[in-house]
Every structure is written in C-alpha cells, then in structure tokens.
Amino acid sequence: MTDDPDDRILRLNAALDSELDAMSALEFERELASDPALAADYRRLEALRRAIRRSAPLEAAPPALADRVAALAPPSPRSTRVFPAPRRRLPAARPFALAASMAAIGLAVGAGVMSLRTQNAAQGVAQALVSDFAQAEIAGQPYAIASSDRHTVKPWLASRTTVSAAIVDLANQGFPLAGGRVAVVDRIPAPTLVYRHGEHMVAVTELPPDAQGVRGGGAIETVDGYHVARWSDANLAYVAVSDMDEKTLAEFVAAFREARKPTAEERR
C-alpha cells in the first residue's frame, strides 16, 4: 500500500493489535501472503508480544492494599441491593445470643429461626452472586487472577479469603480452570473459581457450610437469566452461577462434585 517504512511498520503493529479496519485488514492479509519479508517481521513482532505477555503478567496487588481500597467505600449495613442477607439476620442474632449460655435451647431457637429464613436468605445469596457474576462479566473481568494453574490460583485466593478454596481442575471434563476471584457474600470474602466452557463461564463460590441460604436441593434455578446450582459436601457449601444452559451446568456440577469428593484426611 505504501513504501514509507514508517507507515509500513505502523500498519504492521496495528495489524498485530487487530486495530486495522476490515478493508485494511484484508489487504494486509494479502500482502502478508505475498511478501516474505513482511511476514517475517510480523512473526518477530508476534513473538515479541507473546514474550512480553508472558514475562510481564498482571501482578496481584498486596492484600493490604486491596483492603485499604475496599475500606474507602465500605458496604452500608442497610444496603438492600447487593447484600440483602445481613439485614434479615440482624434481628435474629439477639435471641440466639441470649440463649447461647444454654446451648440446647440456643440451638433449638437458632434452628427454628433458620428454617423460617432459609427461603429468603437463599434468594439473597443467589441474587448477590448473580449480580456479582453479571458485574464481573460486564466489567470484562470474570476473574481477578487469570490462570489455568491451580497452584497459582490457590495461594492468591488463600491470601484474600477465610474459606480454604478447594481447587480442582476439570479440563479433562471440558471445563478448564480460567481463574479465580473473590465474591463478597454477607460481607464475607468468599473464594470463587471461574471455569470456562467454550464461550461460557461458570463461577463456583465456596462458602462455609453454615452460611445462610446456601443449602440447595440440587435443582437448578434461574435468577435474572443466569442459572444457579447449589450443593454442599462435608466441608463446604457451593453456589455455582453460569451463563451456560441448564444441562451443561448440571454436567459441570456432577464433574465438580466427583472431583471434589473429600478425602478421608479432609474429613478430619
């Protein structure tokens, strides 16, 4: 198109960055096919960019920094949109605390209150996690640490959350690990693993087994157009949110549960 060496190199870079318009891109493809020197330069640039991406990955911010930043806008306890569960829990906490010295009675009261609230709290957790999923998707940040290596994801999550993340690789089952992030449920940071399936994502959030509203019957629900599955094992409760179809999500859950069968050691 042009003989100016500067223009040529600018176009080479723009092509590499997918910043050429459709016509120019087509033309560039043709030139690439007929000009071995251009093709060689293109390959060198590509190799350089690959190396840059590999050598200069995103660095995890120090957890203390993340905490300081989060503290700039702490969630309001009366916030109704993202964290509905704590609002409901507050009035119930008092009778539970009063009865705490009498363990048996305390337990009975607590259990009764819990079953009354389960339905609402369950909706709250699902809703919060669906909002979280949608926001992460819209922000183009489905995970805060991108890695298919569970030995990278685990320490990252461990430094930011209190639940120990159970990380399994499901690449062989068609759901490669894509990364991890932290979801906030009831104002508690909870480790969330993001798996990929083609164009779709599924985010599994791990919660303490006694967290409000995480017990589910195994049926898949639909919340705001996303599918939600809930289950628990001996150690943890899980909530999976996905934009996959119901059947695929069910397959994912089955694969995850199979892979996560607690070992005897973990049952403690």
Partner 1 sequence: MTGSAPGPVAGERFRALVPPLIDDAYTLAKWICRDPADAEDIVQEAALRALRALETTSVERPKAWFLAIVRNAAITWMARNRPKDVSYAGDAADLDALDPRLGEAAPDPEAALIALEDGERLRQAIAALPAALRETLVMRDVHGLSYRDIAEAIGAPVGTVMSRLARARGALAKMLKTEP
Residues making contact with partner 1 (CB under 8 A): 5-6, 9-10, 12-14, 17, 19, 40-41, 44-45, 47-62, 65-66, 68-70, 72-76, 79, 81-82, 135-136, 139-141, 144-145, 181-182
Quick one: which of 208, 207, 199, 253 has its CA closest to 227?
Answer: 253
Residue 10 vs 111, nearer CB to partner 1: 10
Q: Name the minimum Å distance from CB 203 to partner 1.
A: 12
Asked if residues 235 and 200 have their Cβ atoms less than 8 Å apart, the reply is no
Asked if residues 235 and 242 have their Cβ atoms less than 8 Å apart, the reply is no
Residue 48 vs 171, nearer CB to partner 1: 48
Residue 57 vs 218, nearer CB to partner 1: 57
Residue 131 vs 232, nearer CB to partner 1: 131
Asked if residues 162 and 169 have their Cβ atoms less than 8 Å apart, the reply is no
Residue 70 vs 234, nearer CB to partner 1: 70
Residue 23 vs 73, nearer CB to partner 1: 73
Residue 17 vs 224, nearer CB to partner 1: 17
Give the count of beta carbons closer than 10 Å to the beta carbon of residue 124: 24
Q: Name the minimum Å distance from CB 149 to partner 1.
A: 16
Q: Name the minimum Å distance from CB 72 to partner 1.
A: 5
Q: What is the DSSP string of 112-177?
A: HHHHHHHHHHHHHHHHHHHHHHHHHHHTT-S-SEE-S-HHHHHHHHHTT-SSPP----BGGGTB-E
Give the count of beta carbons closer than 10 Å to the beta carbon of residue 232: 19
Q: Name the minimum Å distance from CB 161 to partner 1.
A: 13
Q: Name the minimum Å distance from CB 139 to partner 1.
A: 5
Q: Name the minimum Å distance from CB 162 to partner 1.
A: 17
Q: Name the minimum Å distance from CB 33 to partner 1.
A: 19
